[in-house]
Every structure is written in C-alpha cells, then in structure tokens.
Amino acid sequence: MNDLDKFSPGLDGVVATETSISFLDTIQGEIVIRGYDLIELSKTYSYVDIIHLLLEGRLPDEEEKKALENSMNQRYELPATVFEVLKLLPEQTHAMDALRTGLSVLGGYDDAIDDRSLLVNKERAYQLLGQIPSIVANSHRILTKNAPIHPDKNLPYSANFFYMITGKKPSPMEEKIFDLSLLLYSEHEMPNSTFTARVIASTQSDLYGALTGAVASLKGNLHGGANEAVMHLLLEAGTIPNFEELLKIKLSRKEKIMGFGHRVYMKKMDPRATMMKEALKHLSDIKQDYLLYRMCEAGERIMEREKGLYPNLDYYAAPVYWMLGIPIPLYTPIFFAARTVGICTHVLEQHAQNRLFRPRVKYIGERHVL
C-alpha cells in the first residue's frame, strides 16, 4: 500500500509528535501532566502550581510558589494602546475576536520578538500569562461600555482574574472553585488549538502568532465554544422537564448536543467534568439553589441512555461559571486564558525540537489530459 493511500479523517489516531508535557492515558483513565495525574493534582495544588510544573518541569516549593505569585502580580498591566484598540472594535465583536486582536497588539511591544531561545520564550510566556486575563476581562467590559478594571496586586493570581471579570473580590470558596476550573482547563495533550499552535510554531513563527491561531481554533463550538452553548441551552429550557424535552427534540432531529462526547473519552465521563460537577454541587449547597445541578443531572441521564454519551468538562463548567456570576461571552476566553500555559509550553517544546509540519493529502479529484 502506498503511504499516501493511508487516510485518517480528522487525523484520528495519528501520532503527530513526541512530547514530555502531557498524555491522555485512556487505559488508566488519567490526564498525565509532567508525570502527574491532573485530577490528583487538582485536589491539593493550585493553578499557579500547574504553571510552574508545566513551564519549569516540576512542582514548586512554597518559596518558589510565593515568588511566582508575586512575579505574576507584576505582569498584569497592559499597554494603554491595547485598550485604545479594543475601544475601536464594533460592539458586536465576539469576546474571542477581541482577545485575538489584543494578543496581536501585544506582539508589537516585544522588542525581542524574533528571539526563539528557551529563556526568552519562557519569560514571554510568563508575561502573557499575566496580561491575557486582563485582555479577557477588560475587552468584554469595553465592548459592553463599562470601564476597565485594573488589577489589584494584593490579590492572588486567580482571585485577581475573577475580580477583573466580576468587579468584586471573590470569597475563599469562589476563588477556590474558579482556580480549580483554570487548573482543569490548563493542559490536555493535543486538542485542535494546541495542534494549531504547534503547526504555526513549526514554521519558527513567534509565540504571539501561535497563540493567536490557537484563539481562532478555540473559538469554534466543537472545541472551546461548547461551554457557552451549554449555558444557553440550560437557560432556554429553564426547568428540568423543559430541558429533558428539549434534549429529546434535538436528539430526534439528530442535532449535536454540546457538552457531551469527546474524541478521547468515548465510553466514560471526562474526569475533569466529574470535578466540576462536584464544584457545582458545592455551589448549589451554599446558595441553596439546586436547579442547574438537577437539570444537568437529568441531561446526563438522558444522553447516557439515548446516545451512550457522557459529559465533558464544558458541560459542568458552564453552570459553575454562571453561578459564580461570570458573563456567558467570557466562558470560552477564560478557557483560553487557562489553557495559555499549556499552549505556551507546547510552543516552547516545538521550538526546541522542531520539525516543520507538512502533511500530504489523498487526492480524490479528477485528472484531465490536455
């Protein structure tokens, strides 16, 4: 058989690269991050710990974590030009498009943009991890005619992100749950956005270009946009019976139900969704409001019974964000902000051991003789 006759739609099952960053172990049911199970990490570590683990290759000690937290707090501020550019965008601009634009503007302020060395790229990644939450939160505020909220450098990383989004400092419980969501979104092997970033980086393009391409990829509702679609569906239904009926109607029409199914987790629930489900239950207990939790459980039962599909992270992250008071248009940008550390780590690895991605095609068109 000719190699060009081998074809896997969507590159399903095709190994595209070697990596020491992460791996989805479907046999053990683990999301392996630098050798650790992400779900086990989420029980005792924070998002800042994961930033250090991914970029430095090991978990930080207490002094290193404190130093990283302090360092990140000095990186939040954006050039004034970024805000001016965001103010020029049309009101109907999608939050992911605003994020993409803000990222592109930041590239112009990097005097060493052509330096691909590991040391400079790593410093660039830390800088972007500080600035991207500011773009996410304040681009939405600008588009909705609200004044930007500048960071409070006395707050921890995740609390500061939450504060810029909502305008209020989170309670310890809110901070913990929001931080957990960032941790769970942080890295997930080779989804479309990460692959996009690595393909771009393989041309020796810069980190800003790779991240901008990843934003465009993540915007699609078959990838990051699913969390927004889930929340709109829950709000459209409004009650448990209505949600059950709506799902049944959509299934009868063979419509795709967002928040269910995953290319890797085919026959079980996404373990990250399990953690978010527990977080939703905790929020429901505190607020004594179980409607969204029970609606989601009802939907989970229907989809398992009718389609053999299980929730992915987006299904339970959406109602968690809603109960935290986060605007729906920011669900996907928050996903990207959390995933920035994973994508940056992949770009650093790609630059360090590069081979240009250049696949071939299986041609099925006609051939003409002149």
Q: Which residues are catalytic?
A: 262, 314
Specify whether the CB–CB gap between 276 and 259 falls below 8 A. Answer: no
Q: How far is CA 273 from CA 132, 149, 190, 204, in A?
A: 25, 31, 18, 35
Which pair of tokens denotes residue 107?
């590239």
Query: What sign results for the dihedral spanned by CA atoms 322, 324, 329, 331?
Result: negative
Q: Taking Cα atoms as reference points, which of 242, 234, 212 lies closest to residue 317? A: 234
Specify whether the CB–CB gap between 67 and 56 falls below 8 A. Answer: no
Strand, coil or helix: 216: helix
Q: How far is CA 229 from CA 93, 124, 315, 345, in A?
A: 17, 33, 9, 29
DSSP structure class, residue 4: G
**What is the residue-wise DSSP string for 57-72?**
SS---HHHHHHHHHHH
Residue 342 and residue 53: Cα distance in Å, rounded? 10
Strand, coil or helix: 188: coil
DSSP structure class, residue 5: G
Other Cβ atoms closer than 10 A to 87: 11
